[in-house]
Amino acid sequence: MGKQHNAEIGEFLASRRAKITPDQVGLPVYDAAKRRVPGLRRQEVATLAGLSVDYYTQIERGKVNAVSESVLDALARALQLDDAERSHLFDLHRSATTSPQRPRRRTKTIRPMVQRMLDAMAVPAFVRNARHDLVCGNQLAYAFYSPLYPDPLHPDPSKPVNFVRFCFLDPRAREFYPDWDLMADTSVNLLRTDAGRDPHDRGISDLVGELSTRSEEFRVRWAKHNVRLHYTGTKAFHHPVVGDLEVTYETMPLPADPGLVLTVYSPEPGTPSADAMTLLATWAATHLAGTAPENRTTGVDRS
């Protein structure tokens, strides 16, 4: 596993320098016809970071035990990494140079306070884990994501669904996500980010292995090593019951539950999406009585 994590750093750095052209970083190009790739060469990255080319080459080959944070900072500046990419580089370095921690204990139930908080919200609110399973939510969240369940009229919260698996392996995803390509990119980039934070997570590695085997579109995206942060923004959906929905979202980690992330969706007031959400709430109250709080026994897998 150590060699694998070291290789991840090299592959990530190589993927980043491949995305930057010399002119973007102010380097002259005298032999453009002889360049085999449009991105930066190792020597150019080393020059920009103030390193010897031999030293940088060793880093790309995974020899990172003696690499300091100042060197990582220099590489981040040289490669013009954004916040998500910089954090990912440091996560990979930490994983490659420290002993693996003991796996987190898996709890069988969500904390009651978290569930009460979700149920008190009048908009879709749910919690996912690092593997991107929907581990618990309020009734409106289950209604919102009912297409992800085998039986949309009877979603079973005790059997969490996985957002990334649905995106790539379920044909209904291309209708549920109007801009499927954007959602596919986002799903992979977020999963790659979470994998970098905890590369020893067996649940994530098993999911990546499954999707890499079963979906070429996932495999191609995973090989790009793209990452992103995902705190706020807008998303578009096409729900089979109420039609088109555009919502703003906010995500936040739950500090008392490492690896779990809370997400809340809300449409802009006075818009067709707000009307659709009201309709969805009515549908949920009518059809999803089985997902009432007193009937839920949601399990949480922190992997």
Q: Residue 230: which of 89, 18, 88 has the closest Cα?
A: 88
Last residue of a domain, one of 67, 97, 127: 97
Using a pLDDT cut of 90, give the percent of the chain over it.
68
pTM exceeds 0.85 = yes
Each residue's pLDDT tens digit, 235-280? 999 999 999 999 999 999 999 898 899 999 999 999 999 999 999 9
- Which pairing describes strands 261-266 and 125-128: parallel, antiparallel, or unpaired? antiparallel
- The answer to whether residue 284 sits within a structural domain is yes
Q: Look up residue 42 and give its two tokens.
A: 């190792």
Give the pLDDT band of residue 135 (cuts 50, 70, 90).
very high
CATH number of domain containing 15: 1.10.260.40
Q: To the nearest 5 percent, what fractions of the chain are helix, strand and coil?
A: 50, 10, 40
Q: Spell out the SS3 assignment of 135-168.
A: EEECHHHHHHCHHHCCCCCCCCCCCCCEHHHHHH
Instruction: Say what the pLDDT of residue 164 is.
Output: 98
Written as one letter, the residue type at 15 is S
- The answer to whether residue 229 sits within a structural domain is yes
- The answer to whether residue 77 sits within a structural domain is yes
Domain holding 83, by residue range, is 2-97
Q: Residues 131, 226: one domain?
A: yes
> How far is Cα 13 from Cα 8, in angstroms, rounded to an integer?
9
Q: What's the domain count of the chain?
A: 2
Q: Residue 299: which of 172, 203, 191 has the closest Cα?
A: 203
- The answer to whether residue 29 sits within a structural domain is yes
Each residue's pLDDT tens digit, 273-296? 999 999 999 999 988 865 644 444
Written as one letter, the residue type at 34 is K
Q: Residues 77, 199: one domain?
A: no
Q: Residues 241, 196: one domain?
A: yes
CATH number of domain containing 283: 3.30.450.180
Q: Residue 189: which of 163, 214, 159, 161 has the closest Cα?
A: 163
Q: Look up residue 290 and give its two tokens.
A: 């089985």
- The answer to whether residue 303 sits within a structural domain is no
Each residue's pLDDT tens digit, 79-108? 999 999 999 999 999 888 876 655 555 444
